[in-house]
Chains A and B, each alone.
Chain A
Amino acid sequence: MPKRFLIAGACLAAAACGSEPGVYDLPRQEVYDRLASNPLDALKFRRACGILIHLLPSARNGDEIDWRVTHNGHTKVQFSIRLEELSPEQTRVSVSVDSKDADGSEAYDGDYFTPYPAFQQPLRPAIEEAIAATLEGREFDPSRAPHSRDDDVCDVQRATLQQNGVPIDVVMQRRGDGSSDSLSEDGWGSGTTD
């Protein structure tokens, strides 16, 4: 068999098997540079729940990057990634949702309840897909991070923003059902995360 066919076959086999999730054929520094100041807009525009959020990245130690997700200056949720150099040309990216529910489970894990959610659930696969899309130089692919079909509160909030161009908290404020401040206290908590 010609050598080029063997090489092509090997490549196809490798592609079919796929690489380990979260492992990228990029140097650690390259991964760091692409993500360290990246606001991950795909999450904001594809997975937010109809409130205006901002993802604020902050890098530390050269191998960890945190994102604080805020709404009206209040922190809604925090997540981070850790980079591990597997070889000079290969890096593992581990995602961690740092905000926790009252019982210690991960926020937005699919069963997380908050009156005014920021993201469709589960959040972690969406973060992983946003990072993968960034590192692979492609568009965010929703099918790689399916979200719950029973996330009604999020769906309603999201539809309000998408159909009217006005976020849900502003709509509620106009209706006199609440204000951004009161929602922040009641729904998003007075601490650093919801």
Chain B
Amino acid sequence: MLRRIVFPNGDRRPLAIVLFALLGGCGAAGEVGEVYPGAAGEIRQTLLRIDELPPIFGSNAVDTHVINNGDGTITWTASQRFKPVLRFIARTEPVDAAHTRVTVQITGPTSAEDDEVARRLAENPTVRDLYLAAMVEQVDATLEGRDFDMTAISGQLALATAANMGETVDRLDRAAAEYQRRDAENVAKAYEQEANGGWD
């Protein structure tokens, strides 16, 4: 189920939009490993089918690009307005012929040491841990053939929300005002387009 924030005007936005903003889009980090049945190649093929980030990000807020790097790793790059803002990297390591360990890492959009997002991830560990836990759950759900389980990240979600509440509220206010302005502009444009002959 998609978690959304309901603004005063009734509109709903994914919670992650706001937390994303806290990162400015946030240092690299965190790794969690899990062993799954299946050869490494099969596991990678399954992981390549993940073409959306976990539902906390919201499909409208973030575009996702997935690539097989050919070195046993798969990278998902999240972009906002065509600008890469975050990467998740899954490393697959054969445990034996029929089992593979999958380790997920979160990092900034570049590998540069001074990557701004990586720095902010390091400064906002609760948000970083939430995103990582969400992606780990996304991978786990995919490899186990089940739906994403929001309860699997409820702890990280609560911690991230509590730790960033003050700034989140300020940003919510600003985001709400900006969304309302943009929404009204888009609606007005649509009526103008209709008056000028509509759409082809």
Contacts and interface: CB of A to CB of B under 8 A. Distances in A.
A165 B184 contact: no
A181 to B, nearest CB: 13
B8 A155 contact: no
Nearest to A147: B10
Contacts of A167: 190
Interface of B: 6, 8-12, 60, 182-191, 193-194, 198-199
**Of residues A46, A161, A165, A170, which shows the largest number of chain B Cβ atoms within 10 Å of its Cβ?**
A165
Given A52-B190, A52-B191, A163 B8 contact: no
Nearest to A52: B194
B8 A165 contact: no
Given A52-B194, A142-B9, A143-B8, A163 B186 contact: yes
A162 B187 CA distance: 6
The A interface is mostly helix, strand or loop, or mixed, namely helix
Contacts of A155: 10-12
A162 B193 CA distance: 14
Contacts of B11: 155, 158-159, 162
Interface of A: 45-46, 52, 120, 142-143, 147, 149, 155, 158-159, 161-167, 170, 173-174
Nearest to B186: A165
Given A52-B194, A170-B199, A165 B187 contact: yes
A72 to B, nearest CB: 9
A165 B10 contact: no
B10 A120 contact: yes
Contacts of B189: 165
25 contacts: A46-B9, A52-B191, A120-B10, A143-B8, A147-B10, A155-B11, A155-B12, A158-B11, A159-B11, A162-B11, A162-B182, A162-B183, A162-B186, A163-B183, A163-B186, A164-B186, A165-B185, A165-B186, A165-B187, A165-B190, A165-B193, A166-B190, A166-B199, A167-B190, A173-B199
Contacts of B190: 52, 161, 165-167
A45 B186 contact: no
B194 to A, nearest CB: 5
Contacts of B193: 165
A45 B12 contact: no
Contacts of B184: 45
Given A45-B187, A52-B194, 8 more contacts: A120-B10, A142-B8, A155-B10, A162-B11, A162-B183, A165-B186, A166-B199, A167-B190
